[in-house]
Amino acid sequence: MTSFLSRFAISVFKNTAPKSFTFTSVPEIVPPINKFINNLFCTKPLCIVRNYSVDAIQPPLAVDNASIPLKKKTVYKKAVLEEVSQKEGHYLTLAYATANSYDLKGLKEALIQQKLYEPGTLKTQEVGDVVVANAVYSVGDEPRQIIFFKEGAVVFWNCTELEAKNVLDFVRPFEIESYPLEVVHKEREIMTYFYQPNAKSCHLQESCFVLVENGENSLEKYTFSHAMVQSVRLGAWEARLETLASSIRSHTALMESEGAARVEKKEVVRKLGELFSLRHRLTVESDLLDTPDFYWEEENLERLYSNTVAYFTIPRRTRVLNERLSHCVELLELLSSWAADRHHVRLEWMVIALILAEVCFELLHFFERYIARHDVEIAH
């Protein structure tokens, strides 16, 4: 580098006009060159600029303006009944997922025979398999309504917790593949709704549903209910996966501590079947991954459904649940291969034992023949 700079400086001096520089000997040229080089290297640390990419991780730049607000991630938290709004004019909305599906035909007939609720109708018949039940007896000015979904969930509008509990007990004979009661109550969703006089359309406001006063809100209430049903169903599946993951955790701890796993092939296959059944319900039977077809032709309802689904963080929860399912399936497949290897090793040892037994029997027969021949020789 130094020789290159020296040649560069000499070429510069040579190309300079003779009127500007006149040197009589080489020693007179060396000091200016050395001074030029020294000045160049003194300014070198000030001129280092990386205009190329490197593998090293650069430290983050400090933010001079501390007043710039940082965007915080919104995390959904289930509401507690004691914390919901108790303002006048605010009414309670409860959603429960109690089973994999309902027998809606039998449920509707039982409701008619009970004579406490009468079947209601929505403005359109394209909403799918639902049963709307309106309370026969009024308590206050606001009517009470229940919407049963075929997917095994029910939403109560303006019903008390006691009334909801009685209806859940009434519905249990019509459930198909019921969920545990503790999961039903733990994963429920609680919201409130009220009527806003100046509202032009129904919308979601913080943790409340806003309905249009003196308007036809049946489809909007169905849309809110549908989004709540999606959340409680997803919560029940999350609880089921948590139970399965807890049962697998002991095997992973044993693998970590002892380097082996004591698991039976039948148990692994059963747990794999439960996981694949859960994934089938999540990705095939449910419509959590996409907007239902009913909302495609209803722009206002589609926007309302999307906003409510986003409030319950259903897309993110669905993605996380799928990732956890994949992890559990991989772990169980590893345990399955481990159990299969143990079975193969056991079969190999059984084959070896049979071969040894056959060898022992052959040796025994050989000694018997040898002793018999020896006795004959002695007799002669």
24 has pLDDT over 90: no
Residue 9 has pLDDT above 70, yes or no: no
Residue 116 pLDDT exceeds 50: yes
Q: How far apart are the first and last CA of the chain?
A: 110
Of 283 and 336, more confident: 283
Phi, psi (rounded to 5 degrees) for 143: -70, 155
Q: Would the pLDDT of 312 be above 90?
A: yes
Whether the model pTM is above 0.85: no
| The pLDDT value given to residue 137 | 86
Q: Does residue 332 sit in helix, strand or coil?
A: helix
- Report the pLDDT value the prediction gives residue 39, as an integer from 0 to 100: 54
Sign of CA dihedral 290, 291, 294, 296: negative
How far, in Å, are 40, 132, 270 from residue 247 at the CA level?
Answer: 70, 39, 12
Does the structure show a pLDDT above 60 at 307?
Answer: yes
Spatial neighbors of 24 by CB under 8 A, at least 6 apart, are none
What is the pLDDT confidence band of residue 221, given thresholds at 50, 70 and 90? very high
pLDDT of residue 53: 38
Name the strands in the sheet holding 208-212, side by side, starting at the edge strand that comes first in the sequence.
Answer: 117-120, 130-135, 145-149, 153-157, 91-97, 189-196, 208-212, 203-205
pLDDT at 281 over 60: yes
pLDDT band at 82 (very low <50, low <70, confident <90, very high): low
The residue ranges of DSSP E strands in the chain, in sequence order, are 91-97, 99-102, 117-120, 130-135, 145-149, 153-157, 175-178, 189-196, 203-205, 208-212
Closest CA to 300 of 228, 220, 230: 220
State the pLDDT at residue 124. Answer: 59
Tokens of 242: 């948590």
Helix (H) or strand (E) holding 341: helix 314-379
Round the average pLDDT of the chain to a whole number and report it. 78
State yes or no: pLDDT of 50 exceeds 50: no
Say what the pLDDT of residue 179 is: 94
| pLDDT > 90 fraction of the chain, expressed in percent and rounded | 35
Q: What is the pLDDT of residues 361-380, one digit of tens each?
A: 888 888 888 887 877 777 76
3-state DSSP percent of the chain in helix, strand and coil, to 5: 55, 15, 30
- Residues 320, 323: Cα–Cα separation, whole Å: 5
